[in-house]
Structure 1
Amino acid sequence: MPTLRLVGRPFEGFENALQRQMDSFAASVDADVTFERDHRPLPEIHEELLDTGDIADGRYDLFLCLSDWLPMAADAGYLEPLDDRMAADPPEDWPEGWAESLRGLMAYDGTTYGVPYHDGPEIFHYREDCFESVDEQRAFREAYGRPLSVPRTWDEFLEVASFFTRPDEDMWGTVVAAKPDGHNDVYDFAIHLWSRGGQLLDDEGTPAFDSPEGREALQYYHDLIHEHEVAPPESVEMESVETGQFYADGKAAMMWNWSGFGAMAEDPDSAAFGRTNYGLIPRADAAAGEHTSLTVCYGLTVPAGAEHPDLAYDFIRHAASPENDRITTQEGASGTRFSTWRDPEILRSNTFYSILEEVNTGPVNTLPRIPEYTELNEILNEMVEAVVVDRSMSVEDGLAEADERARALLE
């Protein structure tokens, strides 16, 4: 009896959805099949499987791959190209059933290596009841001389976050995932950089983040926690799932985070149930400032050296069906198909889906699609850690050192 072995990050939404999808696949195929799941933290997957190349040692048949890693893994030959299999037996509605932006994240150098399984993008979450309260509106106007409104700029965001920060009530203006795991800490820096008109790399692929926009972005991120104290101090130890739960527990008035964490806030047991709305991430109040978003996704891929590559691809097709993509959403992750985003029942229970198609089909930023990105990501991760978490370097020194290392890497 064949056993399909999958590796991916731990997340209840992934684990529950995959279990249901694996059970239905096992019941539907002619050959008996069993599954084993290995859920590891992102840094461990990167260090023990990607850095070493062990992801392709035959241990795994399926890899729930973060799109940040796909260019490096594909370029190194760690993933099976799927084009031939997809041409012969594509997933239902492929490719029209998915946004081009997501399909592109699962391809490298013109070759497809995976099918999207779980999608961002990052959006703005806010406690609508806080903004609609007459008492809060009156108090805010008295304090700031203007109406209380959902912030459109980072300056407005800071005022609103300061107003709602009430540690004695276990309430904070915002929460950020600054844990140095190479995930949201880097993404947060990128969002602040882009929203100020900056770039990670310029058009020639040269590092461009050590710039006035980069300094302002990193300083603002640092100051939210340490200077203005509008985010809880434990933000430096929190990763993305923990911040999503923190918000769902009613402890923050606002956050920018992955759209899928709206599912936590809209769970009937959540303290934020029925109280959350969504919008655009704030921008800098400057000519170059723009509302921006970041999209990454997780996709099901087949590692090179897999013992059962054909059977693994059959499972990927199965998991990508309309029914199973709905299951991904129902279990707390975020489905990737247009059919799920447009499903009336899904929209009733997950109102944030109403803006997913607009964000994913409009201008949306992605991280550099280069094989060296995983190493560049670690440089940025260590920069944010030194400046924001350890506070062992100044913003200027952190950016300068990261720029020097990035240039050496990319030259």
Structure 2
Amino acid sequence: MGQPALILLGREFDGFRRAVSAHAVAWPSVGSDGIRATWLGLPELEAAALGPTAPDADLFVVPADWLPALAAGGRIRPLTPYLDQTPPEGWPDAWSPSFHEGITWGDDVYGLPFHDGPQLLFTRPSLLAEQGLQPPATWSELLAQAAALQERGVRAGTVLAGKPDGHNNVYDLVLHLRRFGGDLVDGNGRIVLDTAPMRTALAFLREVVTTLVSPTAAAMDSNASGDEFAGGRVGVTVNWAGYASLAAAGAVADDFACAVVPTHDDGSPTVTVNAFWVTCVSTACADPDRAWDYLRHATSAAMDLETTRAGASGARRSTWADADLLVAHPEHALFEQAHASSRPLPPVPELPALVGVLNTLVDEVVWHGEPVDPALATATAAVADLAPPLP
């Protein structure tokens, strides 16, 4: 009789479903029924993984941002002993160094990259040519070109995803917070929000929202913002690389291009947000050795390539350089350069709760135009009440 299936808990997304199915079918685990996956919406997944009761699962597929909270709460196992004894193929150099900060908390690694797609610049070559423009190299050029390409009632200059779901609205804030010289934590690792760079970033985003995006963007999630560009309703934007697939299947299929994110005006690279997904092993797993065997298999070069073929986005350098894959997904050739100036959100256990605070701050100030002083005071008070998860 075969061993029971390992239970995997992850976010509902067709690409994730197909990728895990492909990994499970190819898993050479003798006497095993493989993987039984349960897929949830993002809020439901967060409630299950980080809620008061540990879920009945052997493996999690979650945002890397959650790893410190999951580790501090005793929900996931450190993988360092397995990495020392039976590392995955090519570990660690098969992955960009930009991933390692995001999978490490304290002295241990807690997850391995599953799905990735860095922030890239999306442009419309025909529109640029009409204006005699080259793709924007700096943020100042991007804003000027967005204004030039805007056509009221037809096409917005750019797009931001304003839906208060703690995703693009928060990542856009952090991108520009860093661009203006700030971050979410100070030099001592303390969360600090009321800073000059934070105020500048909020003011910048408010200006973009009121001058260069469609009024409907306030209700868009990240997927809808990708659809806006794919549908030809946006001139130029910075968004996740995965939305190149939407563009390739949309109205702009023959008229879009990707490049790395614009630099600062002095030519120095922008530090983008590396928001990626990981697979980790639950402390509730009764057979962690078998779970590791699956995880090691699923992160192999062959399976990482299958992740991209399934509609997600693999995280290994070999996938990004695969000649056959680049024919259909030429944007992958940019990933190595994009990751060279990419960092995850700060690895603090309070991060999932902090994202909720930032979500409210951006919604109030950027999208609804509320005064920044009281909004920042409320956010600062909320941060003071955050506490790391308890085991």
TM-score past 0.5 threshold: yes
Whether contact under 8 Å (1:195, 1:283) holds in the other structure is no
* 1:276-310 deviation line (CA, Å, top 9, x unaligned): 2223434565x798623111211111111124433
Return the match for 1:181 from 165, 180, 191: 165
Q: 1:7 Cα shift?
A: 1.5
CA distance in 2, matches of 1:398, 1:157: 29
Whether contact under 8 Å (1:172, 1:232) holds in the other structure is yes
> Match of 1:23?
25
Mapping 1:9-88, distance limit 5 Å: 9-25=11-27, 28-52=28-52, 54=53, 56-57=54-55, 59-88=56-85
Whether contact under 8 Å (1:196, 1:288) holds in the other structure is no
Identical counterparts, % of pairs:
32
Whether contact under 8 Å (2:161, 2:222) holds in the other structure is yes
**Does 1:322 find its partner at 2:324?**
no
Return the match for 2:5 from 3, 6, 10: 3
Mapping 1:5-404, distance limit 5 Å: 5-25=7-27, 28-52=28-52, 54=53, 56-57=54-55, 59-132=56-129, 136-137=130-131, 148-169=133-154, 171-225=155-209, 227-228=210-211, 230-266=212-248, 269-282=249-262, 285=265, 291-360=270-339, 362-389=340-367, 391=368, 393-404=370-381
Q: 1:300 is paired with a residue of what secondary structure?
A: strand
> Match of 1:143?
none
Q: 1:64 Cα shift?
A: 0.5
CA distance in 2, matches of 1:346, 1:62: 28
Q: 1:174 is paired with a residue of what secondary structure?
A: coil
Q: 2:311 is paired with a residue of what secondary structure?
A: coil
Alignment-mate amino acid for residue 116 of structure 1: P
Q: 2:12 is paired with a residue of what secondary structure?
A: coil
Whether contact under 8 Å (1:63, 1:302) holds in the other structure is yes
Whether contact under 8 Å (1:264, 1:332) holds in the other structure is no
1:38 to 1:258, Cα distance in 2 relative to 1, 3 A: same
Q: 1:77 Cα shift?
A: 1.1
* 1:162-213 deviation line (CA, Å, top 9, x unaligned): 33233533x3222222211112111100111111222222212244442332
CA distance in 1, matches of 2:135, 2:387: 40
Structure 1: runs of 5+ lacking an equivalent: 138-146
CA distance in 2, matches of 1:408, 1:288: 40
* 1:232-290 deviation line (CA, Å, top 9, x unaligned): 22322222223223322332222211222223323xx33222432223434565x7986
* 1:28-78 deviation line (CA, Å, top 9, x unaligned): 3211314332222222222343032x3x34x11110121111011112211
> Match of 1:142?
none
Q: 1:98 is paired with a residue of what secondary structure?
A: coil
**How many equivalent pairs are there?**
386
**Does 1:406 find its partner at 2:380?**
no
Q: 1:319 Cα shift?
A: 1.1
TM-score normalised by the chain length of structure 1: 0.86
Alignment-mate amino acid for residue 33 of structure 1: D
Whether contact under 8 Å (1:67, 1:296) holds in the other structure is yes
Q: 1:329 is paired with a residue of what secondary structure?
A: helix
Whether contact under 8 Å (2:101, 2:344) holds in the other structure is no
Whether contact under 8 Å (2:260, 2:337) holds in the other structure is no
Moved more, 178-187 or 156-165: 156-165
Q: CA RMSD in A?
A: 2.4
Alignment-mate amino acid for residue 15 of structure 1: R
Whether contact under 8 Å (2:365, 2:371) holds in the other structure is yes
Whether contact under 8 Å (1:196, 1:290) holds in the other structure is no
Whether contact under 8 Å (1:68, 1:374) holds in the other structure is yes
Structure 2: runs of 5+ lacking an equivalent: none
CA distance in 1, matches of 2:48, 2:7: 17
CA distance in 2, matches of 1:313, 1:206: 34
* 1:97-131 deviation line (CA, Å, top 9, x unaligned): 11222133122112121111111321212122321
Alignment-mate amino acid for residue 221 of structure 1: L
Q: 2:76 is paired with a residue of what secondary structure?
A: coil
Whether contact under 8 Å (1:69, 1:374) holds in the other structure is yes
Whether contact under 8 Å (1:197, 1:288) holds in the other structure is no
CA distance in 2, matches of 1:62, 1:235: 35
Whether contact under 8 Å (1:196, 1:289) holds in the other structure is no
* 1:117-164 deviation line (CA, Å, top 9, x unaligned): 1113212121223212xxx21xxxxxxxxx533334444333322332
